[in-house]
Amino acid sequence: MTETTRASWGSKLGVMLAAAGSAVGLGNLWRFPFCTAQNGGGSFLVIYLLCSFTIGLTLVFAEAALGMKVKSDPTDAFGWIHPKLKFIGGLCVFTSMIILPYYSLVGGWILAYVVKIFSMSSATDFGTAFSDFAASPVEPLIFFYVYLVGSAVVVYFGIQNGIEKFSKIMMPILFILLLVLTGRVLMLDRAWEGVKFFFRPDFSKLTGETLMNAMGQVFFSVSVGMGIYITYGSYVKDDTVTVSQLMRPVIVLDVLVSLLAGLMIFPAVFSFNVPVNAGPSLIFITLPQIFVSIPFGRFFGFLFFVILLGAAATSSISLFEVAVTFMCDQMKMTRQKAVVGFSAVCLFVGTFVSLSFGKLSGFKIGGKILFDQFDFLASNILLPLGGLLTCIAVGWILKSGRLIVFKNGIMQKGFEICIKWIAPVFIVLILLKGLELI
Ligand code: TRP
């Protein structure tokens, strides 16, 4: 596509909020709290912060710089570094095809809970209610279809009229609601216990594994490893704006939302004396249980699920956009056709993923149901692999100095050391850990 016809963002704030929308998602509000709980609270937090501002930041900056330079999809971006590297772009699209169906399935569950929270009472058995719902053959599918088609509509309207407008509305609302809800939770009895747990470092719990988990969390949370910032960066028209101006706020917001999520969830959990490391079921079982038993709790529960829905939606549209940009740039399709085509693929794949909780639960690959297999494949293999290939391509194959992300010489040098040495070494370790080889 030539630069004159290529779509572009309407404003700097628009790109920033769209990119922050991609980063802020279930990773912050759902995965971060239980990961922190399982890894020793405050000490995990310290490592998570360190990793976010070194490796996370480096990869986000590298991706965005590539996109802003090449102004095309990830295939062309890596092809610009070396023609033989085009395949990495294909890998990015493949990863989006794996993540989007199962991420949207969880999005559909959240949509369902926005409605369901009103019909729940303290007499409800929340555990059974959730597993029955997830296993039923029809209900979760309907919510999943509605959620996915909803995200598709935003992408259908394009960069400026769809993604940018949606993010500009959604992100501020999300932030305000999150502050309101955190404020309410901090007023609960014994809320302080939760805050202390969250911030007090317990360095005796600091093991090699904590380090790996923190790294994995950063990867998922800032959305690196599948060309999202290459894709979003490719629509930046304004050549005067620098990578760090656009992307620094993204990392800061991502970390801030994780901190707010911790300040909302730990006090609630401690105040009600429920197990702090309930894991993935925390948001669908433990939290609704808490919400229905506080004054106006259903209203706050509703707010909570609306926040989750908004956060998940801005992340889903970024996953969508990677594939759509690829189909437009490489296959010369119109945006509209690309959106319809990719939605059809995801609806089809997602149907099987949803049924893996019920009718297809007997069908396992490597001992895992389809949903778990998709999550494992994406988070433990494809994303770190995408990140590693990005480091090698930018740090080693591209002549250094051609991808300037900082004006300040010392910062630029730090970026180069990180992308060449620190990030790849850590990623290899996570990859080995994910594959249970170490
Ligand atoms: N970062 C998002 C979250 O925190 C999830 C996400 C969106 C993602 N796009 C991604 C993760 C791409 C990895 C890669 O929920």
Instruction: Establish if 143 belongs to a structural domain.
Output: no
Mean pLDDT of the 393-414 span: 86
CB of 226 within 8 A of CB of 322? yes
Q: Would the pTM count as exceeding 0.85?
A: yes
Mean pLDDT of the 390-402 span: 86
pLDDT tens profile 159-169: 999 999 999 99
Per the prediction, the chain carries an average pLDDT of 92
Instruction: Establish if 355 belongs to a structural domain.
Output: no
C-beta of 22 in contact with ligand 1 (< 6 A):
yes
Could you tell me if residue 273 is left (phi over 0), alpha (psi between -120 and 50 degrees) or otherwise beta? left
Among protein residues, the one whose CA lies closest to atom 12 of ligand 1:
223
Give the pair of three-digit tokens for residue 36. Answer: 């922190």
Confidence of residue 122 (pLDDT cuts 50, 70, 90): confident
Instruction: Establish if 125 belongs to a structural domain.
Output: no
Q: Would you tell me how many other CB atoms lie within 10 Å of the CB of residue 60?
A: 27
C-beta of 96 in contact with ligand 1 (< 6 A):
no
- Ligand 1 midpoint to CA 175 (Å): 18
Mean pLDDT of the 295-314 span: 93
| Close Cβ partners of 94 (under 8 Å, ≥ 6 residues apart) | 382
Instruction: Establish if 253 belongs to a structural domain.
Output: yes
Mean pLDDT of the 114-139 span: 90
End-to-end distance of the chain based on CA atoms, in angstroms? 45
- How many domains is the chain partitioned into structurally? 1
Per-residue CA distances from 359 to 137, 231, 355 (Å): 7, 37, 6
Phi and psi at residue 437, to the nearest 5°? -95, -15
CB of 275 within 8 A of CB of 34? no
Q: Where are the alpha helices (DSSP H) in 39-136?
A: 42-51, 57-70, 74-81, 87-116, 126-135
Instruction: Establish if 214 belongs to a structural domain.
Output: yes
Instruction: Establish if 169 belongs to a structural domain.
Output: yes
- Ligand 1 midpoint to CA 354 (Å): 20
- Per-residue pLDDT at 208: 84
Mean pLDDT of the 143-166 span: 98
Instruction: Establish if 347 belongs to a structural domain.
Output: no
Angle between helical axes of 87-116 and 126-135 (0-180°, round to 10): 130
Per-residue CA distances from 308 to 27, 259, 304 (Å): 10, 15, 6
Q: Which atom of ligand 1 is nearest to the CA of 28?
A: 4
Among protein residues, the one whose CA lies closest to atom 14 of ligand 1:
223
Phi and psi at residue 147, to the nearest 5°? -60, -45
Instruction: Establish if 341 belongs to a structural domain.
Output: no
- Per-residue pLDDT at 66: 96
Mean pLDDT of the 358-367 span: 91
pLDDT at 400 over 80: no
Q: Which domain holds residue 395?
A: 12-94+158-301+364-434
